[in-house]
Amino acid sequence: MAGETRFRPHDVMRMVQRDQRARLLADDSIWLCLTCETCTARCPNGLDPARVVDALRELSMTEAPGRIPKAIAAFHRSFLEEVKRTGRMGEFGLVLRYKLRTGQFMKDVGAVPSMVRRGKLKPLAPSIKGVKGVRRIFEKCAEARRANGQEEVRP
Amino acid sequence: MKIGYYPGCSLHGTARELDESLRAVSAALGVHLQEVEDWSCCGATSGHATDHLLSVALAARNLALAEAQGMDQVLAPCAACFSRLASARHEARNDAEIREKLPELLGLPFTNTVAVRNLVDLLRGLAPEIKAKATKPLQGMKVACYYGCLLVRPPEVADFDDPEQPTSMEEVVKAAGGTPVTWNHRMDCCGGAFSLSRTGSVIRLGRAILDDARTAGADAIAVACPMCHSNLDFRQSAMALRGEAPMPIFFLTELVGLALGLEPKALGIRRHFVSAAPLLERQCAAGKGVS
């Protein structure tokens, strides 16, 4: 994805060293990283840029939430919401939530019949038995974020 | 051999042929898969991109369950699930603060005793059995082995094969009677979790991978990850509109299953978007020619 970003991993690392936080968080480069881990695997200085990008994304959620690309934010929220509801990621529920958030109702609709024919589309999934344990994890992590003065992840 | 089994969410949906083919191949090779009871989502990309602690805890819940259910190792056939579970194990081992927090976060005891294994690792270990039991070897089918990102990276977490020049998928394909091709894009990213939110990026990345496999003369690509499969198979429909030649994408388990003489239907191969039928018919004809 580096080809589609303004700041590449080495730029990000240098900007972090120079404390150019505002400039980094004002750009969507960190949200376009797919965590392919290539930079981390190959860093000649043994650094871990992929983890740094994850940390920057967490900062960005508190400090520059408006800068997160809308489709990507909608995907993450829809994904975590579905996991919190059922304990698992039901693809149908994820896509439905994503469409409601983005208004992209027609996206991939043409593929629905072929998905059904292949047995790949399942209706809304029931919750797992231990869904309360999964919700507990979400709640405890939200508490920890509030204690740190961070915006909580609100699925 | 008995191993804990963490299917992960995709194997109950768009990647159900991976679940089907894995179960069929395991039965044929005498591997008993014991599913982790009441498993939950590993947190995937959305977990680690938004909340580090959440990403470790969601994955660790499954390791804690496996531990309580008496397992010492768990197979995660999805490369992304494998990476999240292995990351949780790695973090809990190396970060004392997280290790101490986890039992309270999970509401479960957690001593981090369960090893996490990926699909290619399991099959490579079984290569001699695959070779011995291959009643319908792949007749030299030219296969581009696609590792993608998370099977081998980051190396400290995956702790599997060489992170730059892995060979294990090729070993499995050879055991199944196929011929691995030499190509360049086998470790590049397919676009992962952007299938919905940045479909254009996924098609761009996928096209580069498919083009390179074609240039290398591959008949098909082998993958070991539901997202890689979906991004290369399902998203090929957009490329077919521009007249690009179809390239069948197989899960590695499906190729092994074919070599073991299992029926394509039992392996879920008919669920692919890019039909494998023309290639399998050519294979079949070649097989008759040889015998």
More confident residue, B48 or A149: B48
Chain B residues inside the 8 Å CB shell of A87: 40-41
**Is A43's Cβ below 8 Å from some Cβ in B?**
no
Question: Encoding tokens for residue B121?
Answer: 């690792």
- Give the separation between CA A81 and CA B31, rounded to whole angstroms: 35
Q: Is A36 in contact with B192 (Cβ distance < 8 A)? A: yes
Q: Closest to B273 (Cβ–Cβ): which among A57, A114, A137? A: A114
pLDDT tens per residue across span B87-97: 999 999 999 99
Chain B residues inside the 8 Å CB shell of A79: 44-46
Note the pLDDT of residue A125.
Answer: 80
Sheet of B249-251, strands arranged across: B179-180, B142-145, B220-223, B249-251
* pLDDT-based confidence at residue A122 (cuts at 50, 70, 90): confident
Mean of pLDDT values over B137-161: 97
**Minimal CA–CA distance to B151: which of B226, B254, B234?**
B226
Chain A residues inside the 8 Å CB shell of B36: none
Which chain A residue has the Cα nearest residue B265?
A118
Whether B30 has a pLDDT exceeding 90, the answer reads yes
Mean of pLDDT values over A110-134: 91
The ranges of chain B annotated as CATH 1.20.1050.140 are 2-117
Q: Is B50 in contact with A55 (Cβ distance < 8 A)? A: no
Most A-contacting residue of B35, B41, B265 (CB-CB within 10 A), to test interface: B41
Whether B290 has a pLDDT exceeding 70, the answer reads no
Which CATH fold topology does B135-290 show? Rossmann fold (3.40.50)
Cis-peptide into B154, omega within 30 deg:
yes
Q: How far is CA B128 from CA B32, B133, B168, B176, in A?
A: 18, 9, 13, 10
Q: Does domain B2-117 match CATH 3.90.550.10?
A: no
Phi and psi dihedrals of A154, rounded to 5?
-110, 85
Chain B residues inside the 8 Å CB shell of A119: 16, 271
Whether A44 has a pLDDT exceeding 80, the answer reads yes
Tell me the pTM.
Answer: 0.96
* pLDDT-based confidence at residue A154 (cuts at 50, 70, 90): low
pLDDT tens per residue across span B189-205: 999 999 999 999 999 99
Inter-residue contact B221 to B249 (CB < 8 Å): yes
- Give the separation between CA A79 and CA A83, rounded to whole angstroms: 6
Whether A133 has a pLDDT exceeding 90, the answer reads yes
ipTM of the complex in this document: 0.95
Q: Is A145 in contact with B51 (Cβ distance < 8 A)? A: yes
Note the pLDDT of residue B291.
Answer: 42
Q: How many CB atoms lie within 10 A of CB B267?
A: 27
Q: Is A129 exposed, middle or buried (0-12, 13-18, 19+ CB in 10 A)?
A: exposed
Whether A152 has a pLDDT exceeding 80, the answer reads no
- Give the separation between CA A74 and CA B3, rounded to whole angstroms: 37
- Give the separation between CA A28 and CA B226, rounded to whole angstroms: 27
pLDDT tens per residue across span B224-251: 999 999 999 999 988 887 888 899 999 9
Which chain B residue has the Cα nearest residue A105?
B196
Q: What is the distance in angstroms between the Cα of B140 and the nearest Cα belonging to chain A? A: 29
Q: Is A54 in contact with B201 (Cβ distance < 8 A)? A: no
Q: Closest to B197 (Cβ–Cβ): which among A72, A90, A115? A: A72
Note the pLDDT of residue A12.
Answer: 97
* Total residue count of chain A as it appears in this document: 155
Question: Encoding tokens for residue B146?
Answer: 């696609």
Note the pLDDT of residue B21.
Answer: 98
The ranges of chain B annotated as CATH 3.40.50.11810 are 135-290
Whether B289 has a pLDDT exceeding 80, the answer reads no
Most B-contacting residue of A28, A34, A108 (CB-CB within 10 A), to test interface: A34
